[in-house]
Chains A and B, each alone.
Chain A
Amino acid sequence: EAGVTQSPTHLIKTRGQQVTLRCSPISGHTSVYWYQQALGLGLQFLLWYDEGEERNRGNFPPRFSGRQFPNYSSELNVNALELEDSALYLCASGQPERMEQYFGPGTRLTVT
Chain B
Amino acid sequence: QQQVKQSPQSLIVQKGGISIINCAYENTAFDYFPWYQQFPGKGPALLIAIRPDVSEKKEGRFTISFNKSAKQFSLHIMDSQPGDSATYFCAAGGYGYSTLTFGKGTMLLVSP
With A90-B43, A90-B44, A103-B44: A48-B104 Cβ-Cβ less than 8 Å = no
- Check: A64 CB closer than 8 A to any chain B CB: no
Asked if B100 and A42 make an inter-chain contact with CB atoms under 8 angstroms apart, the answer reads: no
Segment at the A interface, from B16-24, B52-60, B64-72, B91-99: B91-99
Tell me the bound Cα distance from A43 to B36 in angstroms.
Answer: 11
Residues of chain B within 8 A (CB-CB) of A42 are 89, 102-105
- Check: A104 CB closer than 8 A to any chain B CB: yes
A-B contact count (CB 8 A): 51
Q: In residues 1-60 of chain A, which contact B (Cβ within 8 Å)?
A: 4, 6, 33, 41-43, 45, 48, 55-56, 58
With A99-B32, A103-B43: A43-B102 Cβ-Cβ less than 8 Å = yes
- Name the residue on B nearest A43 (C-beta): B102
Asked if A101 and B46 make an inter-chain contact with CB atoms under 8 angstroms apart, the answer reads: yes
Tell me the bound Cα distance from A43 to B87 in angstroms.
Answer: 12
- Check: A66 CB closer than 8 A to any chain B CB: no
- Name the residue on B nearest A108 (C-beta): B41
Contact residue range for chain A?
A: 20 to 34
The CB with the most chain A CB atoms within 10 A, among B36, B42, B98, B103, is that of B98
- Name the residue on A nearest B4 (C-beta): A42
Asked if B98 and A55 make an inter-chain contact with CB atoms under 8 angstroms apart, the answer reads: yes
Residues of chain B within 8 A (CB-CB) of A92 are 43
Tell me the bound Cα distance from A41 to B95 in angstroms.
Answer: 25
Residues of chain B within 8 A (CB-CB) of A41 are 104
Asked if A101 and B42 make an inter-chain contact with CB atoms under 8 angstroms apart, the answer reads: no
Tell me the bound Cα distance from A99 to B49 in angstroms.
Answer: 10
With A48-B98, A48-B99: A100-B34 Cβ-Cβ less than 8 Å = yes
Residues of chain B within 8 A (CB-CB) of A102 are 46
